[in-house]
Amino acid sequence: MTRLNNLRGRVAWVFEEDDYDIDLIVGVRNIKITDLQELAGLVLADQAPGFAATVQRGDLLVGGRNFGYGHPHYPAMRAMRHLGVAGVVAESFSPGFFRGEISMGFPLVTCPGILGAARRGDLIEVDWSAQQVHLPTQGRALPIEPLGASERGTLEAGGLIPYLKARLARAPATPGAPHD
């Protein structure tokens, strides 16, 4: 079993609002757009024109409590991934959003205290083995909440499809079977 790679990048954006509805990232009017290039160009266009050009591969997003509240449609994070965003570190997540994005192999890191600690442009590192988020710019480290076994397995595999393939290859799933 592979281990999770640590995440290291800059804080590309801080969503300060609690209960942030991620549809607002691309705008509800745009959530049916399937062209990723087009969608990526619309990310945060209302809040920060030109945002897309500022993102570097490996950058992370920071969010508040219950990030992903509402109907957790996929276009916002698909667009973010296309720009190179590697994950979200938030105070907490809404369950539907959490389950949906983890299934895409996209790391979501629950880290109470992150909102008050991280600023846009800061370096940020998620250290899975130490179960910490490091903020070297601020000289701080904060503990993260552990993932469940299937969540971790899904991230390690790179998403639900490879995870399921590996699981089904080991043993056809049967009710009650333990799984790692």
Q: Which residues bind other proteins (CB under 8 A)?
A: 18-19, 21, 23-24, 27-29, 65-66, 69-72, 74, 92-96, 98-100, 103-104, 148-150, 160-161, 164-165, 167-168, 172-177, 179
**71 vs 120, beta carbon nearer other proteins:** 71
Least separation in angstroms between CB 147 and other proteins: 10
Q: Least Å distance between CB 63 and other proteins?
A: 12
Q: Closer CB to other proteins, residue 134 or residue 167?
A: 167
Backbone angles phi and psi of 159, in degrees to 5: 135, 170
Question: Per 3-state DSSP, what percentage of the chain is helix, strand, and coil (rounded to 5)?
Answer: 35, 20, 45
Bridge partners of 60, per DSSP, are: 11, 87
> What is the smallest separation between the CB atom of 27 and other proteins, expressed in angstroms?
6
Query: What is the rounded CA–CA span in Å between residue 169 and residue 145?
Result: 30
Shortest spacing between CB 8 and other proteins, in angstroms? 27
In a 10 Å sphere around its CB, with 0-12 CB exposed, 13-18 middle and 19+ buried, how is residue 2 labelled? Answer: exposed
Closest distance between other proteins and the C-beta of residue 151, in Å? 8
Nearer to other proteins, 65 or 82 (CB): 65
User: Got the DSSP string for 157-168?
Assistant: HTSHHHHHHHHH
Give 104 or 124: the residue with its C-beta nearer to other proteins. 104
- Give the chain's count of helices (H) and strands (E): 8, 7
Cβ closer to other proteins: 50 or 172? 172
